[in-house]
């Protein structure tokens, strides 16, 4: 088969390489892979094959060919053998991913071989029996990447349920997609629909602690007692570090810092390599320090510095932990704080875009609050805002720039707003208006 003909056939397949999963240059693939590994390990619902396929796709994007193929081998082990349609749909996606990976590795004969297996399974491009399971796999994959994919995932599970309206796994997927829509876009009309689906899911899947966490967050303002009961059940029964991290955040918002720290430490005992837990612990220490009375403030500061230093000795690449440590050092010696920022700046080529954003935000705050240098603060906030990643740090950089504009007058203030608009105008096409907001 000619290479052009092979590529045309591959483009028509249903698999992770053809689903346009919103993976662009401004996504930190390494970060997504770490979160994905946790989700694959701990989620009880039937989405492991889809997530392993996504893992293979991401590994291939990073050029880790061996790991990509291993993920697909693992996906084959998870295929459901007791449901013929689901098993066939799973194989269809897996073989499509195999074909694409071999094609991208210039192993064209192997790619053709897997393409033939796809064609044997599905004689037409869209076999009606397979559509619901393929749509569900696509939906789970979209959700695993980031919350802003919730609307697309909702459409996928909607199609699946049109064809199999009583499928419990599809309802669980729809519940999580609706929650993502609500949590990311804050659509008020979706809240009740999400609650109904989540209530159904936690009854039908009593071990789905991620669904219980989403329900707890949704009920936080309307049924505090039920929300707390769900959180406490999660802490008692779940070992999923993302569930425990969210439970810790729940208590942190209520200034129950000791309880929040205890939960994170519980999660770290079982998952000592998960970077997001260390970031959550650093945040707990900051809130604890800010809330401490004058007598305890210094003791909390010393304990936090000691603990974060020990963590960084074992995990020296945790940039966000290092930034929080710098801020703690700055409470007693601003020069020591800036030293850390300069050290990170010297190796900026090794940092992720998200880490660079955070560095600029922290350093900008340092210039703004401690050195009272508005021009240097403005430069750092502008550098952070210029990085095309839709994060809380980028929004904070924009807020700080707006705040700075109030300190300037006339043309200087107008120049800040002009620079913001100019940056927005030159962002990549995939950086959507929703992210700009």
Number of Cβ within a 10 Å radius of residue 150: 25
Helix segments in 366-405, DSSP class H: 374-386, 392-405
| Distance separating alpha carbons of residues 268 and 38, to the nearest angstrom | 13
For residue 29, what pLDDT band results from cuts at 50, 70 and 90? confident
Model confidence pLDDT, tens digit, residues 225-262: 999 999 999 999 999 999 999 999 999 999 899 999 99
Positive or negative, the CA dihedral 343, 344, 348, 350 is positive
Short-list 174, 273, 267, CA closest to 214: 174
**Predicted local confidence at residue 86, as pLDDT:** 67
Angle at 248 between CA 245 and CA 250, to 5 degrees: 115
Average pLDDT, the chain: 90
The answer to whether 150-238 and 241-349 have equal CATH topology is yes
Share of the chain above pLDDT 90, in %: 74
Average pLDDT, integer, range 174-179: 96
**Predicted local confidence at residue 45, as pLDDT:** 65
Helix segments in 292-373, DSSP class H: 294-314, 319-330, 334-346, 353-365
Are 275 and 314 in contact by the 8 Å Cβ rule? The answer is: no
Average pLDDT, integer, range 122-134: 73
**Predicted local confidence at residue 78, as pLDDT:** 79
Are 386 and 398 in contact by the 8 Å Cβ rule? The answer is: no
Positive or negative, the CA dihedral 88, 89, 92, 98 is negative
**Predicted local confidence at residue 363, as pLDDT:** 98
**Predicted local confidence at residue 344, as pLDDT:** 96
Is domain 241-349 classified as CATH 1.25.40.10? yes
Average pLDDT, integer, range 156-162: 95
Average pLDDT, integer, range 143-172: 93
| Distance separating alpha carbons of residues 28 and 30, to the nearest angstrom | 6
- Terminal alpha carbon distance of the chain: 47
Q: Higher model confidence: residue 321 or residue 434? A: 321
Residue 298 predicted with pLDDT over 70: yes
Residue 174 predicted with pLDDT over 50: yes
Q: Look at the chain and count its residues.
A: 437
Model confidence pLDDT, tens digit, residues 88-124: 888 899 999 999 999 999 999 999 999 999 988 876 6
pTM of the model: 0.88
Average pLDDT, integer, range 58-80: 90
**Predicted local confidence at residue 353, as pLDDT:** 86
Residue 219: partners with Cβ closer than 8 Å, 6 or more residues away: 195, 226, 227, 230
**Predicted local confidence at residue 124, as pLDDT:** 67
Residue 433 predicted with pLDDT over 90: no
Average pLDDT, integer, range 198-206: 96
* CB neighbour burial string for 282-318, b if at least 16 within 10 angstroms, e if fewer: bbbbbbbbeeeeeeeeeebbeebbebbeebeeeeeeb
| Distance separating alpha carbons of residues 121 and 152, to the nearest angstrom | 27
**Predicted local confidence at residue 71, as pLDDT:** 96
For residue 186, what pLDDT band results from cuts at 50, 70 and 90? confident
Domain regions of the chain by residue span: 1-145, 150-238, 241-349, 352-437
Residue 354 predicted with pLDDT over 50: yes
**Predicted local confidence at residue 310, as pLDDT:** 94
- The CA–CA distances, whole Å, from 180 to 42, 282, 301, 330, 353 equal 19, 26, 36, 37, 24
CATH code of 1-145, in short, is: 1.25.40.10
| Distance separating alpha carbons of residues 49 and 47, to the nearest angstrom | 6
280 CB-side CA count, 13 A: 30
Angle at 395 between CA 393 and CA 400, to 5 degrees: 90
CATH code of 150-238, in short, is: 1.25.40.10
């Amino acid at each position: 088969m000619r290479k052009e003909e092979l590529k045309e056939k591959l483009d028509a397949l249903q698999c992770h390489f053809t689903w346009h999963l919103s993976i662009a240059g401004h996504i930190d693939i390494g970060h997504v892979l770490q979160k994905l590994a946790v989700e694959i390990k701990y989620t009880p619902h039937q989405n492991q094959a889809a997530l392993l396929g996504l893992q293979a796709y991401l590994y291939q994007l990073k050029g880790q060919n061996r790991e990509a193929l291993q993920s697909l081998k693992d996906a084959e082990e998870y295929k459901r053998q007791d449901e013929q349609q689901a098993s066939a749909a799973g194989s269809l996606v897996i073989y499509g991913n195999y074909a694409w990976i071999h094609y991208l590795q210039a192993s064209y004969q192997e790619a053709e071989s897997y393409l033939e297996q796809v064609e044997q399974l599905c004689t037409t491009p869209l076999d009606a029996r397979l559509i619901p399971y393929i749509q569900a796999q696509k939906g789970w994959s979209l959700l695993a990447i980031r919350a802003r994919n919730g609307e697309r995932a909702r459409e996928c599970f909607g199609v699946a349920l049109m064809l199999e309206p009583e499928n419990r796994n599809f309802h669980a997927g729809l519940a999580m997609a609706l929650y993502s829509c609500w949590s990311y876009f804050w659509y008020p009309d979706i809240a009740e629909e999400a609650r109904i689906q989540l209530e159904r899911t936690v009854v039908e899947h009593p071990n789905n602690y991620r669904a219980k966490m989403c329900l707890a967050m949704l009920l936080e303002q309307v049924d505090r007692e039920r929300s707390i009961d769900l959180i406490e059940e999660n802490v008692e029964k779940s070992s999923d570090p993302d569930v425990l991290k969210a439970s810790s955040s729940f208590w942190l918002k209520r200034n129950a810092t000791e309880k929040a720290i205890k939960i994170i430490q519980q999660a770290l005992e079982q998952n000592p390599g998960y970077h997001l837990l260390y970031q959550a612990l650093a945040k707990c220490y900051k809130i604890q320090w800010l809330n401490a009375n004058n007598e305890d403030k210094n003791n909390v500061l010393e304990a936090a510095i000691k603990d974060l230093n020990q963590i960084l000795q074992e995990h020296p690449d945790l940039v966000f932990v290092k930034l929080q440590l710098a801020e703690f050092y700055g409470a007693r010696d601003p020069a020591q704080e800036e030293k850390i920022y300069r050290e990170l700046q010297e190796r900026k080529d090794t940092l992720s875009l998200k880490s660079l954003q955070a560095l600029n935000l922290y350093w900008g705050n340092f210039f703004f609050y401690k050195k009272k240098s508005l021009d240097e603060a403005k430069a750092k906030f502008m550098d952070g805002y210029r990085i095309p990643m839709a994060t809380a740090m980028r929004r904070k950089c924009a807020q700080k720039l707006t705040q700075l504009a109030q300190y300037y007058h006339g043309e200087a203030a107008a120049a800040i707003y002009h620079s913001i608009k100019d940056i927005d105008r030159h962002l990549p096409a995939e950086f959507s208006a929703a992210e700009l907001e």
